[in-house]
Amino acid sequence: MVLSRPRDFRALQGDGFVRSHPLLAVRFRRTDLETTRFGLSTGRKLGGAVVRNRVRRRLREILRALAASFQPGWDVLIIARPAIVNASHEEIAEAVGRLLRKGGVLGGSTTA
């Protein structure tokens, strides 16, 4: 499921907590929904539209591969940082996995 409404993004800003990595930052917010919803933020600092769309495609593919392991009841916003543009798929996948585990979305519990 995808985060798309401005209201959901505002809620993440207000109530959520952040975990970060040089390639990306991730905002987490606990919800009482039965699914985990994701939003992707790729700002203009990354480059032109082609570059931003490529980053979004790469992140969606990584999330698709991890989907079976998601814990229910989270809103997650992944914010790409400029270093992600030159990172390999493996580096991005490792960073996403590490941050989602730290946030409690991939098994375990959160320390927030």
Give per-residue pLDDT as tens, 89-101. Answer: 999 999 999 999 9
User: Which domains, from first to last, does the chain contain?
Assistant: 6-103 (3.30.230.10)
3-state secondary structure the chain: CECCCHHHHHHHHHHCEEEECCCEEEEEEECCCCCEEEEEECCHHHCCHHHHHHHHHHHHHHHHHHHHHECCCEEEEEEECHHHHHCCHHHHHHHHHHHHHHHCCECCCCCC
The answer to whether the predicted template modeling score (pTM) of the entire model surpasses 0.85 is: yes
Give per-residue pLDDT as tens, 11-65. Answer: 888 888 999 999 999 999 999 889 999 999 999 999 999 999 999 999 999 999 9
